[in-house]
Amino acid sequence: MTATTRADLAQVSGVASERDAATRGFVFNHTMLRIKDPRASLEFYTGVLGFTLVRKIDFAEAKFSLYFLVLTDDASAIPDDDAARKQWLAGQPGVLELTHNHGTEAEDGAVYHDGNSDPRGFGHICVSVPDVVAACTRFEELGVPFQKRLTDGRMREIAFIKDPDGYWVEIIQPTPLG
């Protein structure tokens, strides 16, 4: 049975009967993707999808770097001071953390598993856009690879594009397609 109402959802096996008060204020802050080439990934996430790079941390001794990105229509709200920006970032929902292990950019072929073939695991991230048709037209013009176009399959209201590491990015719009 598909759960269609909040009452139905509350009956799904394993769901807590009510939210524990101790979890109030919890925010799903970020997800992390390992990337092969930071330049290619940053061009994709900032240039194609419109993310803003908010923080970069290099761990030279451990040979990795972290890049934190957000989707925001008001970049002026991002604090300039690093300590204030770190605190601001920790309270934001939907942050994308890209982790680059130094040296992977020189390796041939794919370095990381996208989770969409055996053994399956991680599947995709999702970006909601105001107009999915216009967004997909733009992605096509930019030469972005598609996993699924709007015209493919039964679900004609969603698309999947691929980032430089082959991770899938679902593209949806919050309103029904006209």
Question: Residue ranges of the alpha helices (H) in 2-58?
Answer: 6-10, 38-42
Torsion of CA 150, 155, 161, 167, to 10 degrees: -170
Residue type for position 142:
L
List C-alpha distances in Å: 86 to 54, 82, 126, 145. Answer: 9, 6, 24, 33
The answer to the question of whether 157 is labelled as a binding residue is no
The answer to the question of whether 30 is labelled as a binding residue is no
Residue type for position 3:
A
Q: Which position has the token pair 């979890």?
A: 23
The answer to the question of whether 141 is labelled as a binding residue is no
Could you confirm whether 170 is annotated as catalytic? yes
DSSP secondary structure letter of residue 47: I
How many Å is the Cα radius of gyration of the chain? 19
> Exposed/middle/buried for 146, CB within 10 Å: 0-12, 13-18, 19+?
middle
Catalytic pick among 18, 43, 61, 170: 170
DSSP secondary structure letter of residue 44: I
Which residues make up each annotated binding site? 97, 124, 170
Give the residue numbers annotated as catalytic, written as ranges: 170
